[in-house]
């Protein structure tokens, strides 16, 4: 099977989900290609085209413009640039679909789902076209797409999708795909021994934050009188002269990780995870049964993920980094609260979501 995965704007969840699907398809012997939105502008796009695409990616009905026979191009120069970049994107994607001979096309973003739906009106190709949700949210305007299948994060979202006009037969609650190498069998004590972390001290894990420095500083302030550890993924990739590493050099409480480190081992070793409410990281916490605190976010879909988790007792969330840090320290000390959170997380736990998507496309069953 030849599979094309289309992503939208760069985001933590889409990077993780596309990688998880790519690994799952490859394990099945399939050929899988991941293409980002920017790549479909062609070689060496201009800065104005990149900015216009960024604007289009966040426009809820971008491809409806192309169906208006160019009428809105006369509405102003600024909108004209967006129109032109959408048209160029569609032309490149059309060529890709026509010549690629793909068996399946998976869209991880509303924009790419709209693009594929638009192209299907005039181009006949046999690939099954699917939308794969990367967050615990119901994305608006998906009802205007015409895809074969919609893989959602959980069955509790089915009614929200059908309310928007999507056929229930097309909705498949597969879960959020996660890479297989994110999960390890080590017990906490074994993981800490491997990582040289203290066995009987609180340990916090920060894999992703929109303001990593503010999150770390707030947490350090809360554990000022304790000998705990904060394991944090560097926001700049931890190069040799990383300003982030330099900021915390000499503080024994801080363990800075690079994105390529064994994050699953640190997750197993830590007591509480603090993260921006990425759908993938939230799903990983649920699969691992990891007590979770969601950090503040400006992303509306990630905010929906935080609301979904907190409403069901699967996470805590605060208005700012200081409040979240205080919640994390309090949660680490509350054994009953941690157990209740783990119990709640079992209700949405789907560890093999990527394999379920692949199996359905091969065998017609989740």
At how many degrees (to 10) do helices 335-345 and 321-333 cross?
100
φ/ψ of 119, rounded to 5, equals -70, -30
Alpha-carbon distance 127 to 366, whole Å? 19
Span 294-305, average pLDDT: 93
Measured at the CA of 275, the angle between CA 271 and CA 281, to 5 degrees, comes to: 90
pLDDT(34) > 70: yes
Give me the domain span that covers residue 193: 184-345
**pLDDT of 77:** 44
pLDDT(137) > 80: yes
Span 254-258, average pLDDT: 89
**What is residue 295's DSSP assignment?**
P
361 close to 334: Cβ distance less than 8 angstroms: no
Alpha-carbon distance 64 to 79, whole Å? 13
pLDDT digits (tens, 9 = 90+) for 205-247: 999 999 999 999 999 999 987 779 999 998 887 666 778 888 8
Residues 147 and 195 in one domain: no
Residues 172 and 257 in one domain: no
Residues 197 and 336 in one domain: yes
Residues 231 and 170 in one domain: no
Residue 15 DSSP SS3: helix
**pLDDT of 263:** 85
The CATH number assigned to the domain holding 152 equals 3.40.50.2000
pLDDT digits (tens, 9 = 90+) for 35-81: 998 888 877 888 888 888 887 777 656 676 665 544 444 454 445 67
Torsion of CA 324, 326, 328, 331, to 10 degrees: -130
pTM for the model stands at: 0.90
Torsion of CA 309, 312, 314, 316, to 10 degrees: 70
pLDDT digits (tens, 9 = 90+) for 157-185: 999 999 988 999 999 999 999 998 888 77
Percent helix, strand and coil across the chain, each rounded to 5?
Answer: 50, 15, 35
pLDDT band at 361, cuts 50/70/90? very high
Q: Percent of the chain having pLDDT more than 70? A: 93
Residues 280 and 237 in one domain: yes
Considering just the CA atoms, what is the radius of gyration of the chain in Å? 22
Task: Count Cβ neighbours within 10 Å for each residue of 154-177 and write b for 16 or more, e otherwise.
Answer: beebbeebeeeebeeebbbbbbbb
Domain count, the chain: 2
Q: How far apart are the first and last CA of the chain?
A: 17
Span 258-287, average pLDDT: 92
What are the helix (H) ranges across 197-250?
A: 212-222, 243-247
Q: Which two tokens stand for residue 85?
A: 């970049």
pLDDT band at 121, cuts 50/70/90? confident
**pLDDT of 66:** 61
Span 334-351, average pLDDT: 95
Query: Which single residue is written with the structure tokens 């309310």?
Result: 163
Residues 143 and 188 in one domain: no
pLDDT(335) > 90: yes
């Amino acid at each position: 099977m030849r599979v094309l995965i289309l992503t939208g704007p760069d985001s933590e969840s889409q990077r993780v989900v596309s990688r998880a699907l790519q690994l799952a398809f490859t394990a099945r012997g399939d050929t899988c290609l991941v293409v980002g939105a920017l790549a479909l502008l062609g070689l060496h796009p201009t800065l104005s085209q990149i900015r216009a695409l960024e604007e289009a990616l966040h426009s809820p009905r971008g491809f409806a413009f192309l169906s208006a026979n160019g009428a809105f191009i006369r509405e102003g120069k600024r909108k004209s640039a967006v129109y032109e970049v959408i048209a160029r994107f569609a032309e490149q994607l059309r060529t890709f679909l026509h010549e690629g001979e793909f068996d399946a096309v998976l869209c991880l973003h509303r924009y790419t789902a709209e693009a594929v739906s638009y192209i299907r009106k005039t181009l006949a190709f046999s690939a099954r076209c699917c939308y794969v949700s990367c967050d615990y949210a119901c994305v608006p305007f998906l009802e205007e797409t015409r895809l074969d299948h919609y893989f959602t994060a959980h069955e509790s979202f089915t009614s929200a999708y059908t309310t928007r006009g999507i056929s229930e037969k097309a909705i498949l609650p597969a879960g959020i795909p996660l890479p297989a190498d994110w999960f390890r069998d080590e017990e906490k004590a074994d993981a800490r021994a491997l990582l040289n972390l203290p066995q009987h001290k609180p340990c916090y894990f920060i894999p992703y934050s929109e303001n990593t420095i503010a999150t770390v500083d707030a947490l350090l302030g809360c554990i000022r009188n304790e000998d705990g550890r904060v394991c944090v993924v560097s926001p700049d990739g931890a190069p040799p002269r990383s300003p982030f590493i330099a900021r915390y050099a000499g503080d024994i409480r801080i363990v800075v990780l690079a994105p390529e480190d064994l994050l699953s081992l640190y997750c197993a070793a830590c007591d509480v995870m603090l993260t921006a409410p990425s759908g993938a990281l939230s799903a990983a916490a649920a699969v691992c049964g990891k007590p979770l605190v969601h950090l503040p976010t400006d992303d509306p879909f990630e905010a929906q993920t935080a609301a979904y988790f907190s409403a069901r007792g699967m996470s805590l969330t605060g208005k700012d980094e200081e409040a979240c840090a205080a919640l994390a320290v309090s949660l680490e000390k509350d054994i009953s609260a941690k157990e209740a959170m783990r119990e709640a997380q079992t209700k949405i736990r789907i560890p093999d979501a990527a394999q379920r998507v692949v199996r359905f496309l091969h065998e017609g069953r989740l």
